[in-house]
Amino acid sequence: MTGRIYLERGQPVTVTIPYCARRPPALTYSWLHFDWHGRRPAAGPRNVAIRRADGSRVVRPFRGLTRPPNPGLAT
């Protein structure tokens, strides 16, 4: 996903960093057993850092970004 180009309201943007909604804790102890409850952490990124055509960078929800049409495929 990093480095891919998507469209935001028709304008191309580049994903620079995907953020995950939940990450496992960084604590590693032999007695600590961490279990995920509810949604899995690998459900996909919720927010992404993007770079717009004007050079600005912003963190926004991944929802709403679309893949650009591929002119090589016949529809």
Domains of the chain are: 1-22+43-67 (2.30.30)
For the stretch 11-17, contacts whose Cβ atoms lie closer than 8 Å and that sit 24 or more positions apart, written own/partner, are 11/52, 11/53, 12/53, 12/68, 13/50, 13/51, 13/52, 13/53, 13/65, 14/50, 14/51, 15/48, 15/49, 15/50, 15/65, 16/48, 16/49, 16/50, 16/51, 16/57, 17/48, 17/49
Q: Full-prediction pTM beyond 0.85?
A: no
For 5-59, the pLDDT digits (tens) are 999 999 999 998 876 555 555 656 666 565 655 555 555 557 889 999 999 999 9
